[in-house]
Structures are given as C-alpha cells and as structure tokens.
Structure 1
Amino acid sequence: MGVLCFQVRPSQAIIVAKREAAKKKNQETPDCCYVRDIYQTAIDSGKMIRGSTGVVYERSMAEHRCLWDESYPECPERFTRVLERCQELGLIDRCKFIEPRFARIDEILLKHSVEHVNLLKATDGCENIERLESMSSKYDSIYIHPSTYKLSLLSAGSTMNLVESICRGEIQNGMAIIRPPGHHAMKSEYCGYCFFNNVAIASEKMLSEGLAKKILIVDWDVHHGQATQQMFYDDPRVVYFSIHRYQNGAFWPNLRESDYHYIGAGAGIGHNFNIPLNKTGMTNADYLAIFQQVLLPMAYEYQPDLVIISAGYDAALGCPEGEMEITPAFYSHLLAPLLGLATGKVAVILEGGYCLESLSESAALTLRGLLGDPCPNVCPLVPPSHSITTTILNIIYTHKPFWSCYQYQDTYNLTSAPGNDEIRHLPQVIYEGDQSKPEFYETRNCYPVQSEIRLNEIHNRLVSLRQTTILARAPHRVCLVYDLRMLKHLNYTEDSHPETPKRISEIFLKHEEYGLLERCHILEGRAATEEELALVHTREHILAIQKTAESKPSELMKQGRDLDSVFLHKETWTSASIAAGSLLQVVDSVLNGESQSGVAVVRPPGHHAGEEGACGFCIFNNISVAAKYATEFHGLKRVLIVDWDIHHGNGTQSILEEDPKILYISIHRYDNGAFFPASKEANYDVVGSGKGKGYTVNIPWNRRKMGDAEYLAAFQQVVLPIAYQFNPELVLVSAGFDACVGDPLGHYTVSPEAFGLFTHWLSPLANGRIILALEGGYNVNSISYAMTMCTKALFNDPLPPLRSTTPPCSSAITSIKNVLKTQRLYWPNLVFQVALPKENVIPEVSTPGFERKIAEEQFKTEKDQIHDLGGKIEKMGLDSPRGCPNESGNSEKKKYERAFNTWRKWRKWRKWRKWRKWRK
C-alpha cells in the first residue's frame, strides 16, 4: 500500500515563534553556565522551622460495631481507648486539630469501583440485622453496621484532609485516629474490617493534584495490606513497604502475593517490598534489623516527598492476632528515622491492633514521637532471629538489581565450591497456604480468643513496661555553650593557621542568624578543674599546659615545635581548660534533666590529645573528659562516642581502649595509613584491648573523595546497628566538620545537611540525651553551616533532602565489609554478611490480584452458562439421562447427558459456592 504525503504549510504564528526563538538563542552567551552555591541547601533550610503536629478524629466513629457479636475484635474501644490515652498524656492539646470530613464519591472512585461504593451505600441506615449479617458473610472478615457507609466516607475524607494539610505545609506531620481501617479494602471487594482504602485514596489524590510526586507507604500492620499493594503494584510513584506475619502463606490473608518475591511490575518493578514474618514472637530487634538493613537504605535512596504510615498495632505485645513481641515504646523508634525523610512530611494513619492496652499505648507513643518528644529507652536488644535474617537476605537478593544501596553481601555462582570462611544463602519460595475461598464466611466467633491466664500475663508485662518507660521531657530542648575566652588561643607566628578563633565565632554568629540562640538555653562556660582533667590526662601534662600561661612567646614556640602539629599561646591554658569545662557544663545540664540535648561550641579541639600530651591542634581531650565525667560522677554505665571528624581520634581511642563502659566509633580518612595521624591503630582491625575489646570501632576510608553516600552507608550499616545494640545512656559526638565540602584539609564532599541527618539518626538513642562538641573543620563557612544544621536537627526542624543520589564508591563498600567482618565477633546483630547467588533462582510471578480477577471472570462465565442450560433442562422436565429421548441415536443421547451433568453442577452451585483454586 502506498503512503500519501501532504505538504502542510506552517501557520504564521508558528513561523513567528520560531523566528523569535532563534533570535533569542543567538543572543545567548555560548559559554553560559549556572553555578550552584555548595551551601545553597543549608541556606534555604534556614527558614525551615518545625511546624505543628496535626490530629484528626471524629467521636462518631465509635458507632461502627458488630450488632450480632459483642466480642468482635474490631470494636469501638479500639478508637476510644487510643483517644483516652493520648489525652491522659496531654498529647491532644499539643496538636493542631484537623477538621474531619466525608469523602466525596469522586474521591472514593479514585481507587474503588462504582459497584463497590453503591453496594455499601445501599446498607446506609439499614436496621435489618439479619440482612446486614447475610451481606457481611459474603466477604472475608467483615461486619456491616447501619453507620458503616458514612463512617467509611468519614475515615477516608479525614485521612485526605490530614495528608493534604501536611502536603500544603499547614502542619508538619500528623496522625489520623480513625476507623474503619482501610488497607485490606480492594477495588471491588470489602475485606479484613476494611471498606474504603484510606491510605491508597489519599495517596492517589495527592499524586493526581500534584501535591506529591513520590510517596513512601510504610505498612507495619501485622496483616499484609494486599489491597494497597494491588493498587500501586505497577506505579513507580509509590513505594509500598509492608511488614507482616506470613508463616509461608499459612497466616491470613493467605496470599502468595504477600511473599518477598512480589516486587512490583512494569514501571513499578522494584517498588514493592514485602517483609514476610514466618514465625511468631518477633521482637524489637527483628523489626529494627528490617528498618536498618532494608527500609532506611532504600528510603533515603528513593527520597520521597511524602511518607504515609499504615499504622496497625497488631504486632504489638499482647495482640491475639499478631502474636508478636514489639513493645509500645519501640514504635517511636521505628517512626523516628522516617521523620528525616520528605522534609518531615509524615502522616500516620491508624489501621489495626486488637489488644486495647498495647494498642492505645503504642498509638499514643507514636503521636508523642510526631510531636518531637524523645524516644523512650527500650529493653536491651536480643540478636535478630534466624527467621528474620533469612527473610532480609531474600529481600536484598530480589531488590538488589533495582537499588544501589544493597551492596554489602558477596555473591557466588551456584556451580562453584564455597570458600573456607564463606557463608552462603540460597533464597527459596515456600508456600504452605490455601487460597481457596468459601461461598460464605463466618461472621461470629471467627477470631482468636486468649485465656484468662494469658490475658493476665500480658497485662502484667504491659504494666511493667509502662512503669519503666521514661516519658519525662526536659524543660529545655537544646542547651548551648560558648565562651569568648576561648578566642584568645592564637598562633603567634602564623596568622593563616587553620585552627583560628573564627571557627567558633562564625558558628555562633550563624546560630544567631538562623534564630537558634533565642531557642537555645544558653549556658555559661567554666574552666575544668585539675581533678576533672586528671580523669584522662597525667598530672605532668596538665602542669605543662598550666605553665604556658607564664611562658614567653619564644619559649612557647620552642615547646610547640616539640609537639605534633600543636601551637601554644600564653592563653592556651585558659582556653583549653574552658573548652573542657564548658563541655562538662553541657553534660551536667543534660544528665541533670535541665536540657534534652546540647551543643558545645568550643576550641581548641580535643580528640587527638593523648593521656600524656597534646597533638593535632588539641590540648585536652574534651570528649574523653566528658565521657569519663559521665561515668565517674553521674554513674552512667554506657556512653557512646561517635567521632565523625575526618581525622582519626587517636587520643580518644588510646585513652578509652580498655574501658567497656564507653563505646568509641570513628569514621575517618585513612588512606591506608598515609593520612594524619598516620597510625595503623586507625585501621578496621583495631577493636580495643582488655575489657574494652570490641568497644572500639574504626571505619577507615581509603579514597581521597568521600561524600554523603559513603557516610550514609557507614551509619546505616555499622554505626546505628552497633549503637542500638550497645543501648547507650548518653551519646557524645566528636563533631569535627573537616569532612564537609570545601574543607582545605579534608578534601571530602559531605554536605552540611548530611551532618544534620546524622544527628537526627542518633537522637532516638539514650532517651534523646545527645551532646555535640566541636572538634575540627577549617573552612569557617562549612563548619558554620554544618553545626547549625546539627542544632536544627536537635530541635526537630525539617531536614532538607540530600541532593546526592550516587551510590557509595567501591572503596567505601570494601571498607564497610571489612568493618562488619571484624566487628561481628563482638556484636551479634551483624549477621548479614552472607553471600547471595549471582543467578536468578526465583520463579516468575503474576500481578497480585490477577489470579483473583481471572478466576472471577471464568467463574462468572461458567455460572451464566450453567444458568442458561439449567433453565432449559428445567423446562424439559428432565430428572435423569435415562429420560432423555434416544430415538435419534447416540449423538442426541450424549448431548442430553452433557446437559444433565451441567445441570448437576448448577444444582451443586446453588447449594454452595466455592472459588476455583488460583493458578500458581
């Protein structure tokens, strides 16, 4: 067939437009380029101050209840008890109330069919209990009340109002205390106490209205939110992450699609995460491992602009449906790192939870976390279970092709022999469920019931946990110390020396510029006593520094030349003792309960100073003095020091290497021993000595350029897992910023806002008792912005998203693997260094809900055929094939035999319905 071509002359308007575009292009400078300020994100974040926390609820939601079974677990008390506990803790009054509203039908239709809506609408106000129960029996785990339709609209509408308020910046974050729940409600089927999918509808509305472009849905309800998964399975705009009890398909809803290898389809492949829990009794440690190994690395790579949590609390201790062991206080620890995403835009939407005591406490402590209160201390963590370790490795294996953050497991060929110390894992898909569906579902006594003995045991445990959970808040969120006397320490001979007084004065001014000083509790500096300095230094060293106050400049210069990278001044003693003493002021303020956290803007720095002498610009080891002071004078048993200065804190390590009360973790540039302080003691295989063995953790970098991606990986893979296992009572940060972009000594590219994120991640530890003490950093702009971002993080101000999306470099991955291999001997939660196969060993899967859709269509077709044939047979009055006429021969007889068999099937169908088995 030929092709007809038509020559169309462009319109005059198009010709003019092209001419103007060409003219404009010719006027442009050919070498025109745009330069972005390396501090632009930090500059822009100056106005980002924490907003209010919203809460939405409507007391009429208590009307929805089961009229024929008073013991039904999805009861009004789930709603009222949560509200009561939040009010007891004074949380509701601290929130901004968001008006509830009914969803419009067009909004519901974003994710549900017209028939789905109309069928429920037909029950509105119906008082016929028998009819309501009969209709409920057609759906899995459903009861319908005369108010169900309106309250389902109210739940969905209230969820949308809350989420929209967050997206529009009217509130910072918020919680929807609503019912009925929603995450099991499918497009055209009610399921699992759910009628309209609140979270899915709200997500779709935000996307369609341009209020969000990328959404992360975290579903920690113990039941798989299969409906939410189905609705976004091929949508790359949404990552759906579900942690749910599965038991290889034996637990409700018994779906194959709830397993780990269902990872999304089409454009959304890799965007669906199922974390199937294949045993009961999962603990805080199991959930923490899921977050640290799977969720957080992916989430910070994905960088969503909205986070929605389907917050079911049926994994909480005591719930008869979940049978898990998550303590109520731990939910705030799960929430905390998610608040660092999406500039803090996080919505928590109530789903399930059926132990009223643990449900109400868990939900209340989640709302408390949204309000920015410190995370309560939790019980010491046990190692992750073998079951969850297997699951996590399976998930990393299936998602590794789609995410650059999963690079810390070696690989192997299936045909190769394992190495001597190689541990291998082979992912498997095991299904032990039953996907057949009955014609009618039970509507009464269809839920687990606990014995009185078990109920008393649960109550006693929850009471004990409540009594030992510290919910006190310090009067001051952040204290800050700064003393002008520390400016007097100068270099006599080198005006351009990098350790300059401007380092602290500019930080102080930047805090003032950002309005932080008026928000901080300002402390007066003081000099440390000789007794306090002697906690870590010899008397000889203290006396030598004291004498500098009476020495001549020539004597000081000679004395300084005998030291390693140190200058001395007649004010050195004053400045150095005030630096140490001022940090102790912050320690006292925090540990005495006056302040929640603290910032010490001090100099000279300290972490290179050893027991017997000064080193590397450092006179006294401020952070070691503070750690020892906390254990000796305040009686603490566990203090964590995180040192992110680009130089290894050789002084801190040597002073504390035998102390099991103090865990020292250092991330530093090493360059295979060539970078200052150029000591083999900074390598990953140095772990402490004596009783302190295992309490030194070195993360050495061996490449000249490291940035946000490498430091994020170090925190996610090493720092946070070990820190949580250690469970400190105080966190001290040797906050050097010479790894920050633009530093003349470090030459790394870590952004100022990344340091704020690190601070945010450490803040849930130790009941929020965290103190930052300035160490190095020699670009005054970089350190001013970086420390300011840290202080803002302590105030829970929104954190800007990190701009870097590049994966960690191979050198950093090698370093992290070496650290993990070394430290797993001392920290039992580091169990994920296992080799995974290179080959694909996972069977192909079909789209979730696809089998159900096909089965429904085939069943409908067969049902219609049976109805037609059955009607014909009834009209003919046939009772058996013997009554069929046979004069016309065998062909006619066979025709009626087939018709009779079809009739039998139809009679059977009328008596009971049974869905066909779903195809594998």
Structure 2
Amino acid sequence: MASGTALIYDEEMTTHKLLWSDPVCGIEVPERLSSSYDQLKRYHLVERCVHVPAREGSKEEILLVHSSEHLEVAKSTQTMNEEELKKVSGNYDAFFFHPNTYRCARLAVGATLELVDAVMSGKVRNGMALVRPPGHHSQRNAANGFCLFNNVAIAAEYAKLKYGLQRILIVDWDVHHGQGTQYIFEEDPSVLYFSWHRYEHQEFWPSLKESDYDAVGLGKGRGFNINLPWNKVGMGNSDYLAAFFHVLLPMAFEFDPELVIVSSGYDSGIGDPEGQMNATPEVFAHLTHFVMQLANGKLCVILEGGYHLKSLSESVCMTVKTLLGDPVPQITGEMAPCLSAVESIQNVRAAHKRYWKWLMYEDTSFLQNLSTKSHLLKKANPNPSIEHESKITNKDEAVKVERFLELHMKNILFPVPPIKTATTDSKGSVHLLPVPVHFVKEMDKTEIKALVSGFYADIVKEDKNLLSLGSMLAILDKILKKEACNGIAESPTCSVSVAVALRHSVRFGFQRVLCIFVGDMEIIPNTEDGKILMIHICEKEQSGKTRSKHYISLNWKEDAEGNDFFSAVLGFILPVAYSYQPNLTVIAVGPNRSLGINGISLLFSLLQGLAESRIFAVIEDTEINVMQSVAKALVGASAPHFGVYVPPTQEKVNKIKILRDQFQQEWRMLQCSVKDGISRN
C-alpha cells in the first residue's frame, strides 16, 4: 500500500491578480493561496507532507480538454497592457487576465497532473494541490467564473490516457456548479461527476437549468452526472453528510472508481460571501475521510473556490490533516438535515433510480417534483455585481466569523495520540498481522481482580473469563486515556469482553458509547440510560430483547459475493451513528457472524470518522483472518475492494426501509425521504 501525502504549492501562482477595480472578480485574491499555505505551516503540516514541485502543463495536455483557439487567446495575453487585458477579460463571464495569468494557469494544470502522477505511480497515497486560477467553470472554448483551464477535467483525461483508467470519480464540493466539468464529461460514462451547489431554483450563478437534479448526463453518459442543488442558503454539516450518505457514497461504491479527484472548493464553508453556508471546517475532514475509502485510497484534492480567508485556510488544513491519516475531529452541530436538503436529496435519488442498481427497489413513486419552484424560500440575487453591495456591508459579519473560527478550532483540535493502533501479544499471534502495531503490556491477574471486583461481578462469573480480560482492558485503557487512537483485542469470550468494556468505558466517564456487535451475543448490555447505543448485526432476531432507540437489531446475512452490505452501512448504520455522535466506538466480532471480512472491514473503515477516530475492536480469537483485515483498516487502509456490485435483494432493501421509517425521528440523519412528515425546516 502506498503511503505519504503530497502537497503541491508554487508561490508564483500568487502573481495572478486583478489590476483594476471589479466587484465581481475582486474576491479572487492571491492571499487565497498564501494564507492557506501559511496556515498549513502553522499547524506543522507542510513538513509532514511529501513536497512535489509544480511544472507547467504542456500545450498537448491542455488540448486534451480545451480548443486551440482558447489556448491561443490565453497565450496572447502575456504581452498585453492593462487596457487590452481588461478588454479581453470582458469577453468572459467573471474572469480577469494579468500578464502572468497564462503562466499561472499552466502551472495550475501541471501541478494537478504532477499530483495525479505521484498518486498513480505509488510515490504517495494521496495529496492536495493548492492552485490558482481554479478550473471547474472553464469550458472547452471559454474562461468562466475565475477559471481559465479546467484543471480537474484535464487531469481526468490525462489519467485515462496515461494510465488506462476506465472509471474516474470527480467530487465537486465547491458551492458553485462546475458546469465546465459537466459539459466536458456529460456524454462520458467513464467519468462519474458529482456536484452539490447553491442553486435556489436557478436564481444563483451560473443560473443554468442544466444545474438542476434532472440533468443526469447525455447519451452513454446518462446517470453519470449527479447534480444536487441546494435551494436555500445556510446548509450545514448535517446537510452535507446526508448528501454523502444518501447520494454520493452509494453511487461511488457501485461505480467502483480507480481514481478519485476532488474539485475542492471551500466557498461551501461557513462565512464565505459567495456560499452563505454554515458548514464548519471539520466537515471537510469527514468528507475527505469518506472519499479516502474509495479507489484503494488513490485521491487527488485540487483547490477550487473559497473567499473567506480564515474559513478557507482552516478547511484546507482539515483536509490535509485527514489525508495524512490524523484522527478526524468530532463533527459539531445538530445532526439533522433540513427539509430543503432532504427534498433535494430525494429528488436526486428519484432522477437516478433507473441508472443505479442500489436504487432499483427504492420507492420514489410518491414524488411529485418536490422542488416545485415555490418561491417561499429566501432567494439570492443571481447577479454577482449587484450582490457586492451587501457583501461590503457584511464586513462586520466576516470579522465575527473569523473570531468564531479562532475559538471553534481551539475547541475541536486535539493532540494526536502517540500510538496509532494498540494491541497485546497474549496469544502469540500478532506476528501474523500484516501491518505494524504497537504492543502494550496486558494486565496481570492481580490488576484485573482489583479492577473488576464487585463492579463487574455479575458479568464475570468464571475465573477463565476473568483472565481473558487482561489483554482487552490494557488496550481499552490506552484508548480511554487517549494514549492510543484505536486498538484491537482477541477474546475467547467476545460477548463478556464487550459487556465489560462498555461498562468500563461509561464508568471512566464516556457518556455516549456506540457498540456494533456482529454475531451471536450472549450478554446484552443495558442501554436504557442512553449512554450505550447497541446495533446488533445478526442473522436472526435476538430473543427476549425488543428494539428501542438505543438497541437496534439489524438482521442481515451477507450474500455470497459479499458486496451488498454497504447499502446497510450507508443507508442505516452510518446515519444512525452520526446522529448519536459517540465519544467511543466499539466494534465486536463474535461467534456465528453473518458478515464476510469485506463487510466487517467496511464498518471499521467508515466509522473511523466518529469519536475522534477512537475505535476499539474485540475479535473472537478463532478469527485470525478477521484480525488481519481489521488491523489493516485501523492503521489506515482504505475500504476493501468489492468488485462488481450485486444489489441487495428487495427483502433486504425493505428491511433497511422499515428500520429507517421506524427510527428516523429519533436518529435524524436517517432522513432522506420527505414522505413521512418531517417537522424540521
């Protein structure tokens, strides 16, 4: 597995700047790059990255996407005076030329392609390119929206040509629709393009009908263009996560990309004058964590927009920290998507039902065009030049956001534990693990008895069970004290070990512990006080225990191909887990498990976004092959490759739907349908 994170930055790209007064273009300033890079240095992230130098993109590389006429116009601006530059800039919508713009744009292209090469060659696992000018609005024959050459589109064509890739995913989380990228690939089934964007029923720039949810691609590309329009401002962390759970990630896992490229615009973050959204920087750590699970971790993040310098720079740092494998910060805010977001999500699912297997059994017949262009929601002015006056008067608001972010980042950032993955070698089998882990000394019999006496006596009734706890408690202790990020323990009595671990964690002071137990469970912990949320994955319903908000039984037997479980993880488990927001996650594999190794690995990979990445694994000691896969996931391997997607049966889809309907009022991230009367707007 490749390791390392590339960072590409060239100070020369800051020389592209506006030479005259223009309220529309005035926000695209060189400090967007320099302030982001400076913040990366302050967090000591630059020194942890692999430095990859930028180069100029060649004429041949630019012509992979753009016309020779467009290239020649850009080239001709190098010798123009200010008046001539202003005149040629006026031929385009929201773009400006500087004598060094052509050179900077070629550097942006070349930096992007160098990142693709570094990732595809295995020099690094992933990386980020800080580039200007951005690219996702530029079209074959036109500059547009601050963009001259479409860096990401060129990268996709380059990767197909040089590396023979047949499936590339482009994730565009900029707040504007990347119409340039859509136009370039709308007939191409080898590129899956996903964009969410402020739209407001076509009243926000670029104000195109083809930015709406029903623009799904053309010809052979139908189904491979996914537009998720935000029809009001103020979207936050939960709205973005819901879009990933209920739209992007299931499509991405089914598509099975060989490379992921992110058009990484941070104008979708809090405080940005363009986006007017409320998502805080740590959400980009979570989004990055999710896309890292695809394509065996081959991920290239390319900067697009972002115009509030503090919000931009902190969000860039959150992305790079996650690429480096740091624990993911706790997400903040209420975990409940707003009604407008849910409507948009459901419209996208309905528009794409005929193209995607994971949607084949979804009930979308009740939809009657939920975004009926009602003008009850507040609208933004589609003319950026008129918007400028309100931005000027909102300088106080920008300062408030900056102060908020100063405090917010101090609250969510935490020291990285010195140990990534802890274990003991009590069984002498650790040498079989495929990755390096940190050994801790297990507790001896005296320590265990001192700890267990009285408080766990009802659980630990046999001496042999008591002795088996020495390894488990030593590892758990390191996690609870935040000396280890995660850990893995073998246990001959998994159910007993988990019951003790959960009670011990609550006694230690953890107020919300998520436990996912796979297999038969002899002892079901008390969940009535809400300090433990139990999701029990088993083939048959556990007798004597009724479902409740904090005890959920998911009856699931993985199919022979072993690749239908992600529909349960994304459609139910992950939304519930994010709604709960645990301080610790315990995942246990007991006897008679109903999941294959891939499904278990998927749980560990995706759930590391929770609880500051604190995960404790307890594995039945007969399952050394499971131990090996879990260890790989805990040290940072991406989710396993599932192969050709086989959709779950209608019976399984119905199971998820029944659970979703039953619990969506308690666990609000489950909401992806407006059918059942959502009260929150």
| TM-score, normalising length: structure 2 | 0.93
Cα distance between partner residues in 1 of 2:164 and 2:474 = 45
Instruction: Identify the residue that residue 442 of structure 2 maps to in structure 1.
Output: 524
Relative to structure 1, the CA distance from residue 765 to residue 450 in structure 2 (aligned partners, 3 Å threshold; closer, same or farther) is: farther
3-state SS of paired residue (2:340): helix
Cα distance between partner residues in 2 of 1:365 and 1:349 = 14
1:815 is matched by which residue type in structure 2? K
1:715 is matched by which residue type in structure 2? V
Instruction: Identify the residue that residue 687 of structure 1 maps to in structure 2.
Output: 547
Per-residue CA deviations over 1:303-327 (Å, capped at 9, x if unaligned) read: 1000000000001110000000110
Aligned residues of 2:95 and 2:146 also touching (Cα < 8 A): yes
Per-residue CA deviations over 1:61-96 (Å, capped at 9, x if unaligned) read: 111110113871100100000000111111111111
Alignment of 1:124 onto 2:78? yes
2:110 is matched by which residue type in structure 1? G
Cα distance between partner residues in 1 of 2:431 and 2:589 = 18
Cα distance between partner residues in 1 of 2:137 and 2:174 = 11
Relative to structure 1, the CA distance from residue 536 to residue 407 in structure 2 (aligned partners, 3 Å threshold; closer, same or farther) is: farther
> Which one of the candidate residues 446, 459, 469 is aligned to 2:402?
459
Cα distance between partner residues in 2 of 1:400 and 1:533 = 57
Instruction: Identify the residue that residue 110 of structure 1 maps to in structure 2.
Output: 64
> Which one of the candidate residues 578, 589, 598 is aligned to 1:753?
598
Instruction: Identify the residue that residue 629 of structure 2 maps to in structure 1.
Output: 789
> Which one of the candidate residues 25, 28, 32 is aligned to 1:78?
32
- Per-residue deviation at 1:252? 0.5
Instruction: Identify the residue that residue 468 of structure 2 maps to in structure 1.
Output: 579
Instruction: Identify the residue that residue 18 of structure 1 maps to in structure 2.
Output: none
What does residue range 25-174 of structure 1 map to in structure 2 within 5 Å? Answer: 48=1, 50-69=2-21, 72-126=26-80, 128-174=81-127
Instruction: Identify the residue that residue 824 of structure 1 maps to in structure 2.
Output: 664
- Per-residue deviation at 1:411? 4.8
- Per-residue deviation at 1:455? 2.2
Aligned residues of 2:326 and 2:416 also touching (Cα < 8 A): yes
- Per-residue deviation at 1:406? 2.1
3-state SS of paired residue (2:423): strand
> Which one of the candidate residues 566, 584, 587 is aligned to 1:730?
584
Cα distance between partner residues in 1 of 2:456 and 2:523 = 10
- Per-residue deviation at 1:136? 1.2
Cα distance between partner residues in 2 of 1:459 and 1:233 = 39
Per-residue CA deviations over 1:192-231 (Å, capped at 9, x if unaligned) read: 0000000000110111223422100000000000000000
Instruction: Identify the residue that residue 714 of structure 1 maps to in structure 2.
Output: 568
1:726 is matched by which residue type in structure 2? Y
- Per-residue deviation at 1:287? 0.4
Instruction: Identify the residue that residue 13 of structure 1 maps to in structure 2.
Output: none
What does residue range 847-862 of structure 1 map to in structure 2 within 5 Å? Answer: none
Instruction: Identify the residue that residue 679 of structure 2 maps to in structure 1.
Output: none
Instruction: Identify the residue that residue 474 of structure 1 maps to in structure 2.
Output: 417
> Which one of the candidate residues 623, 641, 658 is aligned to 1:801?
641
Instruction: Identify the residue that residue 696 of structure 1 maps to in structure 2.
Output: 551
3-state SS of paired residue (1:124): helix
3-state SS of paired residue (1:401): coil
Per-residue CA deviations over 1:665-685 (Å, capped at 9, x if unaligned) read: 111101xx5xxxx6153xxxx
> Which one of the candidate residues 295, 306, 310 is aligned to 1:353?
306
- Per-residue deviation at 1:475? 0.8
Aligned residues of 1:409 and 1:834 also touching (Cα < 8 A): no
Alignment of 1:379 onto 2:332? yes
Instruction: Identify the residue that residue 627 of structure 1 maps to in structure 2.
Output: 502
* Bigger Cα displacement from structure 2, 808-817 vs 188-197: 808-817
Instruction: Identify the residue that residue 656 of structure 1 maps to in structure 2.
Output: 526
Per-residue CA deviations over 1:688-710 (Å, capped at 9, x if unaligned) read: 4xxxxx11111113x69566334
3-state SS of paired residue (1:478): strand
Cα distance between partner residues in 1 of 2:193 and 2:186 = 8
- Per-residue deviation at 1:463? 1.6
- Per-residue deviation at 1:711? 2.2
Cα distance between partner residues in 2 of 1:255 and 1:335 = 28
1:532 is matched by which residue type in structure 2? V
Cα distance between partner residues in 1 of 2:671 and 2:560 = 26
Cα distance between partner residues in 2 of 1:680 and 1:827 = 24
Aligned residues of 1:479 and 1:523 also touching (Cα < 8 A): no
Cα distance between partner residues in 1 of 2:374 and 2:660 = 33
Instruction: Identify the residue that residue 481 of structure 2 maps to in structure 1.
Output: 592
* Bigger Cα displacement from structure 2, 100-109 vs 463-472: 463-472
Relative to structure 1, the CA distance from residue 708 to residue 523 in structure 2 (aligned partners, 3 Å threshold; closer, same or farther) is: farther
3-state SS of paired residue (1:771): strand
Cα distance between partner residues in 2 of 1:179 and 1:248 = 30
Aligned residues of 1:535 and 1:625 also touching (Cα < 8 A): no
1:644 is matched by which residue type in structure 2? V
Instruction: Identify the residue that residue 549 of structure 1 maps to in structure 2.
Output: none
1:637 is matched by which residue type in structure 2? Q
Cα distance between partner residues in 1 of 2:453 and 2:363 = 46
Per-residue CA deviations over 1:38-74 (Å, capped at 9, x if unaligned) read: xxxxxxxxxx3x4111111111111111011387110
Identity of aligned residues (%): 33
Cα distance between partner residues in 2 of 1:211 and 1:804 = 19
- Per-residue deviation at 1:536? 4.7
Instruction: Identify the residue that residue 45 of structure 1 maps to in structure 2.
Output: none
What does residue range 828-907 of structure 1 map to in structure 2 within 5 Å? Answer: 828-833=668-673
Aligned residues of 2:257 and 2:294 also touching (Cα < 8 A): yes
* Bigger Cα displacement from structure 2, 381-390 vs 223-232: 381-390
2:500 is matched by which residue type in structure 1? V
- Per-residue deviation at 1:736? 3.0
1:277 is matched by which residue type in structure 2? W
1:323 is matched by which residue type in structure 2? Q
| TM-score, normalising length: structure 1 | 0.70
Instruction: Identify the residue that residue 517 of structure 2 maps to in structure 1.
Output: 643
- Per-residue deviation at 1:472? 1.3
2:582 is matched by which residue type in structure 1? P
Cα distance between partner residues in 2 of 1:357 and 1:759 = 33
3-state SS of paired residue (1:282): coil
Cα distance between partner residues in 2 of 1:99 and 1:176 = 10
| Residue ranges of structure 2 left out of the alignment (5+ in a row) | 677-681
Give the count of matched residue pairs.
Answer: 669
Relative to structure 1, the CA distance from residue 124 to residue 425 in structure 2 (aligned partners, 3 Å threshold; closer, same or farther) is: same
- Per-residue deviation at 1:366? 0.2
Relative to structure 1, the CA distance from residue 90 to residue 113 in structure 2 (aligned partners, 3 Å threshold; closer, same or farther) is: same
Cα distance between partner residues in 2 of 1:819 and 1:130 = 64
Cα distance between partner residues in 1 of 2:9 and 2:572 = 40
1:92 is matched by which residue type in structure 2? V
1:347 is matched by which residue type in structure 2? C
Aligned residues of 2:239 and 2:341 also touching (Cα < 8 A): yes
* Bigger Cα displacement from structure 2, 57-66 vs 526-535: 526-535
Relative to structure 1, the CA distance from residue 637 to residue 443 in structure 2 (aligned partners, 3 Å threshold; closer, same or farther) is: closer
